[in-house]
């Protein structure tokens, strides 16, 4: 069974790439430049920003350092992006479901997100 906290963690983690993309652009860096700064491929940066691939915690620290922020700041910004009112309303509705129904809905969402991530 997937609980609400686990689902929130998945969503926040998936949004980290968008946060990195936003900060990278604000710093005037290309994906290639960021990749060179952290010693990784541009493809990894591209996939991470699109939510197609994740990165290790070590790589996340290197990305944060290259962007002049802390890893905590990346997660805080990703969590802020989670505060979409429509998503919050849906999450509240899911929380109000009986436990068995909630488990089904959360499993469906997690499966959908995992499938989208593979594309």
Identify the residue with better confidence: 33 or 9. Answer: 33
* pTM summary value: 0.67
pLDDT tens by residue, 54-108? 899 999 999 999 999 999 999 888 877 656 677 777 777 887 788 889 889 888 8
Number of domains in the chain: 1
* Residues spanned by the domain of 97: 4-118
CATH at residue 99: 1.10.260.40
> Which tens digit of pLDDT belongs to each residue from 19-58?
999 999 999 999 999 999 999 999 999 999 987 788 999 9
Identify the pLDDT of residue 87. 73
Could you tell me where the DSSP H helices lie in the chain? 4-26, 31-38, 42-50, 57-67, 71-81, 85-95, 99-118
């Amino acid at each position: 069974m997937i609980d609400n906290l686990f689902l929130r963690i998945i969503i926040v983690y998936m949004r980290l790439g968008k946060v990195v993309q936003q900060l990278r652009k604000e710093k005037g860096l290309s994906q290639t430049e960021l990749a060179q700064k952290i010693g990784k491929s541009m493809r990894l940066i591209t996939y991470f920003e699109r939510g197609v691939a994740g990165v290790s915690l070590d790589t996340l620290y290197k990305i944060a350092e290259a962007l002049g922020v802390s890893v905590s700041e990346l997660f805080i910004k990703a969590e802020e992006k989670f505060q979409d009112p429509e998503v919050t309303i849906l999450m509240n509705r899911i929380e109000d479901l009986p436990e068995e129904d909630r488990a089904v809905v959360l499993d469906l969402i997690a499966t959908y997100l995992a499938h989208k991530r593979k594309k």
